[in-house]
Structure 1
Amino acid sequence: MEQAKLNKVIEGVVKTVDFSGVVYIKERDEVTFQSAYGLAHRSARLSNTVHTRFGIASGCKLFTAIGICQLVETGAISFDTKLKDCLNLEFPNFDKNITIHHLLTHTSGISDYFDEEEMMDFEELWKDRPVYEMTSLHDFLPLFQDS
């Protein structure tokens, strides 16, 4: 689709549904379109950028599993690869033998940080460190070290 026509279509949809988010289109290795709309944090009036991180909760499980399977398929890792061998972070409270397989099948023994029986207000999790401020794994993964 021609760039000007694509821009017009996207702008129309953004206005019609009051869209707040990012549109990112990539064909093969080339980014053909990227633009951010709306607010990342409404009360602070912080605008979205193409680098805004969105909290999508369990919606990312499928994408994570596909990405991991692609890495296994290329031989970059295996399902038996240990978590400690994948990340340059210390997890002192996690068993050193936790594998990719354990993580994908939820059999690692890592506690559920969204324990519905313990917590009634999930917004509390993100008050000190909002999702939109996390830009790398080093921002996010340390949240799990106290499990």
Structure 2
Amino acid sequence: MQSLHDEVDRAAEDGWFSGVVRVDRAHETELCAAYGFADRAHGVRNTVDTQFGIASGTKGLTALVVMSLVERGTLGLDTTARSLLGDDLPLVADDVTVEHLLAHRSGIGDYLDEDGADLSDHLMPVPVHELATTEQYVAVLEGHPTVFPAGARFAYNDAGYVLLALLAERASGVEFPDLVRTLVCEPAGMVDTAFLRSDELPGRAARGYLSVDGLRTNGLHLPVRGSGDGGIYSTVTDLRGFWTALVAGRIVSPQTLAEMVRPRSHWPDLSYVSSRDHRRYGLGFHLHATGDQVWLEGYDAGVSFASLHDPASSVTWTVISNWTDGAWPIVRVLRDWFGS
């Protein structure tokens, strides 16, 4: 019988995987391995300490910032977006609340239409260098009519999480990257997690590639600096620390976490991850269709990522890749191996 390491090695070779895989059970690391190149042009290999973009995995951190502010009384789940927007974004309905936004049930129009989109296309509606602060994203959030009444149904929405970052900034008076650092990263000991600018990546950060080979990066495809819906960089070590701190109550209280992982919606799985039929969604976290597994996930030009925690087995695993579809063959191996 092949070991998990053998299975991952085989999938990595067959799928030309570029990235890092880490698996922990309780307090023991069962697997931590790096593959491929962080910088193909210069032959710089990925290591287990390489920083990778995690795309929409950022949404879980955004949700934790918001819920931390709820615990402090700075925001409420029933706070309306309009109460902090003033005259900005007039097409956001007056009854849209923080809870609607967290649960992807707000009905607001999205600034990105990714359904059926080719992620190698240039999808951003404004030049990417114009998106370096959360307030600058107001320009791309404007002009999108309401799609359905708030609370009526689930619809995954990037704009909603940028709006949450904007509301968090305005309510607290602190810029969103600093909120993530102080409310999430510092309590979790995530020393290598930050919103890096794509035009000044440090030496340990992986470049994101649009295909399995070649040198074309995602530098013109994503905002120069991320916000509430995506764009933070992290490492597998930091993500292990994230789950440990989250479960231990060091980021938000156990009562708040329980509220965040309470299912709000069912929605179909995405075929690039799994052949399973459904998953559920809480507040910022993906949830297993029937079990207790909770995870973060990201998929964008030059980025693919999933990080899962199973409280029943105390298993945590993370897969990060620096090309668009790189993570999913490894994710499928881990899901099959651990039955998640």
TM-score, length-normalised on structure 1? 0.54
Q: 2:114 aligns with which of 110, 113, 116?
A: 116
By how many angstroms is 1:125 displaced?
Answer: 2.6
Same amino acid, percent of matched pairs: 28
What is the aligned partner in structure 1 of residue 93 from structure 2? 95
Q: Which moved more, 1:60-69 or 1:110-119?
A: 110-119
What is the aligned partner in structure 1 of residue 281 from structure 2? none
Greater RCO, 1 or 2 (C-alpha within 8 Å, sep 6+): 2
**Contact residue 102 and residue 108 of structure 1 kept, 8 A:** yes
Structure 2 residue identity aligned to 1:70: S
In 1, Cα distance between equivalents of 2:63 and 2:113:
22
SS at match of 2:90: coil
By how many angstroms is 1:137 displaced?
Answer: 1.8
By how many angstroms is 1:59 displaced?
Answer: 1.6
In 1, Cα distance between equivalents of 2:65 and 2:89:
22
In 1, Cα distance between equivalents of 2:116 and 2:79:
32
Q: 2:46 aligns with which of 14, 17, 37?
A: 17
What is the aligned partner in structure 2 of residue 67 from structure 1? 65
CA deviations 1:26-59 (Å, max 9, x no partner) are xxxxxxxxxxxxxxxxxxxxxxxxxxxx7x5312
In 1, Cα distance between equivalents of 2:71 and 2:79:
13
By how many angstroms is 1:127 displaced?
Answer: 6.6
By how many angstroms is 1:92 displaced?
Answer: 1.7
In 1, Cα distance between equivalents of 2:61 and 2:121:
24
**Contact residue 125 and residue 140 of structure 2 kept, 8 A:** no
Q: How many pairs are equivalent?
A: 102
Question: Is 1:143–2:172 an aligned residue pair?
Answer: no
| Structure 2: gaps (5+ residues) | 1-37, 145-340
Question: Is 1:77–2:75 an aligned residue pair?
Answer: yes
Structure 1 residue identity aligned to 2:68: Q
By how many angstroms is 1:89 displaced?
Answer: 5.8
Structure 1 residue identity aligned to 2:138: L
Q: 2:131 aligns with which of 106, 131, 134?
A: 134
| Structure 1: gaps (5+ residues) | 1-12, 23-53
